[in-house]
């Protein structure tokens, strides 16, 4: 399976992990969600990823908006995925080659890492619904819907990002389930640098 596909998309049945959140249903507006994402400058959390083939990976995620994100995968995966400088870089320990790299703006992750998230932009949000304790939106680049989309799941009171499902440009999906986000903190730019990571990466 393509590494980018495995990293970026997670299976819909992972919604079951949200069963513990029993707050009364409340549909969040696009303005509320945009404001929340714009206010999310730095954050860290543990994650569970359900891959398109049904396998599960775990690890930690670090976010530094705008434009920076890092996924450290636990053993036996041991992969590293990071975005910085406009590029998404994927380090795979099973490969003895340089990391795979993709323009960040060609992936749905760029939508939540944008400097100014505006989900009210015309044709950006193609789905907006609430169910149980969650609000789910599906967003895409309105100028390039062929790049895929990201489905974001939020709880309310307070607003919190709990999960996303990314559909890539081939239609394949991967689900990322987030633990409680620890917001704030200071993270070095080097943490999101592919150049720095490559110097330390244990190539075979």
Q: What is residue 169's predicted lDDT score, i.e. its pLDDT?
A: 85
Sorted by where each starts, the structural domains of the chain and their CATH numbers stand as: 3-198 (2.50.20.10)
Task: Say if residues 47 and 63 touch (Cβ distance below 8 Å).
Answer: no
With 90 as the cut, is the pLDDT of residue 13 above it? no
When comparing pLDDT for 24 and 33, which is higher? 33
pLDDT, average across residues 175-199: 93
User: pLDDT band at residue 22, thresholds of 50, 70 and 90?
Assistant: very low
Angstrom distance (rounded) from CA 10 to CA 196 = 28
- State residue 53's pLDDT score: 86
Whether pLDDT at 90 is above 70:
yes
Q: What share of the chain has pLDDT > 90, as a percent?
A: 68
**Nearest-angstrom CA–CA distance, 195 and 46:** 25
Look at residue 198 and tell me whether its pLDDT is greater than 80: yes
What 3-state DSSP class applies to 42? strand
Confidence class of residue 24 from pLDDT cuts 50, 70 and 90? low
Q: What is the mean pLDDT of residues 19-28?
A: 59
Provide the pLDDT confidence category of residue 21 given band limits of 50, 70 and 90: very low
Q: For position 23, what pLDDT does the model report?
A: 45
179 contacts 163 by C-beta, under 8 angstroms: no
Question: Which pLDDT score, from 0 to 100, does residue 194 have?
Answer: 93
- Range 34-46 average pLDDT: 96
Q: What is the pLDDT of residue 122?
A: 87
Rounded Cα–Cα distance for residues 120 and 24 (Å):
25
User: Which position has the higher pLDDT, 99 or 26?
Assistant: 99
Q: Which residue has better confidence, 201 or 146? A: 146
pTM for the predicted model, two decimal places: 0.85
Question: What integer pLDDT is reported at residue 34 of this predicted model?
Answer: 97
pLDDT digits (tens, 9 = 90+) for 91-123: 988 877 788 999 999 999 999 999 999 999 889
Task: Provide the mean pLDDT of the chain.
Answer: 86
For the chain, what's the residue count? 204
């Amino acid at each position: 399976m393509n590494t980018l596909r495995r990293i970026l998309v997670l299976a819909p049945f992972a919604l079951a992990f949200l069963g513990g959140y029993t707050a009364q249903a409340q549909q969040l507006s696009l303005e509320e969600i945009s404001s929340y994402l714009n206010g999310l400058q730095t954050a860290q959390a543990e994650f569970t990823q359900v891959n398109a083939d049904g396998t599960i990976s775990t690890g930690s995620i670090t976010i530094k908006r705008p434009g920076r994100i890092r996924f450290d995968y636990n053993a036996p995966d041991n992969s590293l995925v990071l975005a910085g400088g406009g590029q998404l870089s994927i380090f795979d320990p099973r490969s003895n080659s340089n990391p795979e790299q993709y323009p960040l703006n060609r992936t749905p992750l760029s939508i939540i890492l944008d400097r100014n998230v505006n989900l009210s932009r015309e044709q950006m949000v193609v789905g907006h619904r609430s169910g149980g304790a969650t609000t789910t939106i599906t967003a895409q680049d309105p100028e390039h819907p062929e790049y895929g989309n990201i489905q974001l799941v939020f709880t309310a009171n307070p607003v919190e990002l709990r999960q996303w499902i990314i559909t890539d440009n081939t239609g394949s999906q991967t689900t990322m389930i987030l633990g409680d986000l620890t917001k704030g903190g200071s993270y070095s730019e080097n943490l999101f640098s592919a150049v720095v990571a490559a110097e330390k990466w244990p190539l075979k």
